[in-house]
Amino acid sequence: MSNIHSSSFPSLRLRRGRSNPWIRNLLTENKLTVNDLIWPIFICEGENKKEEISSMPNVYRYSIDRLDEISENANDLGINLVALFPYTPEEKKTEGGEESINSKNLICESLKKIKSQKNNFGVMCDIALDPYTSHGHDGLVNNEGEILNDETNSLLVKQALLFAEHGADVIAPSDMMDGRIGKIRNKLEEEKFYDTIILSYAAKYASKMYSPFRDAVGSSSNLKTDKKTYQMNIANSDEALREVAMDIKEGADIVMVKPGISYLDIISKIKSEFNFPTFAYQVSGEYSMIKAAADKGFIDEEEIVFEQLTSFKRAGADAILSYFAPDVARKLKSGN
Ligand code: PBG
């Protein structure tokens, strides 16, 4: 190591390695492929619906009968995993989030549909209460407005089992309660769901970057307080390593960092500390910022998206959830 780095200018000219496309190609260290992409999908009730989300141009909520369109695209583009998120109608939201464990809820019905098809991709389902609660929090809330950890866990375990029973391949707790990975893993083992993967949103920060997502699942107007008592302090990184250590110990197969681009340091630290499968989520706010700036002609959308997704790879992410997934996959498939 020390030897190669001891040579200096003019014997060392790093620009030699950048002087032509062919040498740049040969020296490329990280390459984005379709195998790095996970596609998040929003689902709504009704028939023949494909409604655009106003804060996320070109991202839609699909009714279940229109999910064929998603499956066809995912199969055709070679996307390995889609992540389902429900837009629960207001009248089905309650304080206790009971709709989350209704076997006829949007996620269960979507799983029935997708799993009756012959697909080449897996299906991931979020575990959390926020799309189902009238207050928009990920957990149960008491009269003092506190989020109840252990009571929430009992419900999350039921939700996880229900989705596993309906064929979810990847269970992704995004709620940030303590101890939920262990409880979910135990239940899945007990019920013989040996192959159900747990992808833990392990280092999930209390970020302002989730606002468009909250519009997409219809929780933004209900949410009156922040999520800082359960999602992580944006200023911390040691704590992220402790969150990840805890979830690995409890039985997570994959851990995730969220949001993405401003948290690449966290991805890098987790990867070097644990050498464990680590995913990243390029969240809704990141998507909308790129879209808005591109729409104004301030930036080149396609190039910026490639730059950012490649940066996730460079930081050490094994795969990335991105609303740009189908666009990028299409581009990669076309080969230019
Ligand atoms: C719900 C959940 C959120 C996201 C994924 N799962 C929102 C939140 O925690 O408030 C955000 C995804 C995005 O912004 O794209 N627990």
What does residue 182 show for φ and ψ, rounded to 5 degrees? Answer: -60, -45
Separation in Å, CA 221 to CA 63, 134, 137, 214, 245: 22, 10, 12, 8, 34
Using alpha carbons, select from 121, 93, 122, 95 the residue that is nearest to residue 105.
Answer: 93
Please report the domains of the chain, with CATH numbers, ordered by start residue: 31-334 (3.20.20.70)
The pTM score is 0.96
pLDDT tens string 254-271: 999 999 999 999 999 999
Q: Are 114 and 67 in contact (CB under 8 A)?
A: yes
Q: CA-CA distance, 46 to 230, in Å (whole number)?
A: 33
Contact predicate 34/329, CB 8 Å: yes
DSSP element (H, E) containing 279: strand 278-282
- Reported as a single tens digit per residue, the pLDDT across 89-138 is 999 999 999 999 999 999 999 999 999 999 999 999 999 999 999 999 99
Per-residue pLDDT reduced to its tens digit, 22-32: 999 999 999 99
Q: What is the pLDDT of residues 279-297, one digit of tens each?
A: 999 999 999 999 999 999 9
Closest Cα to atom 2 of ligand 1: 174
Instruction: Compute CA distances 88 → 7, 95, 113, 213, 324, whole Å.
Output: 62, 14, 18, 13, 24
Residue 304: what residue type? I
pLDDT attached to residue 7:
87
Residue 128 alpha carbon to ligand 1 centre in Å: 9
Q: At what angle are helices 325-334 and 67-77 packed, to 10 degrees?
A: 40
Q: List the catalytic residue out of 93, 183, 258, 291.
A: 258
Residues at CB less than 6 angstroms from ligand 1: 126, 128, 130, 138, 174-175, 210, 213-214, 283-284
Report how far residue 11's alpha carbon sits from residue 225's, in angstroms, rounded to the nearest whole number. 60
Mean pLDDT value across residues 134-147:
97
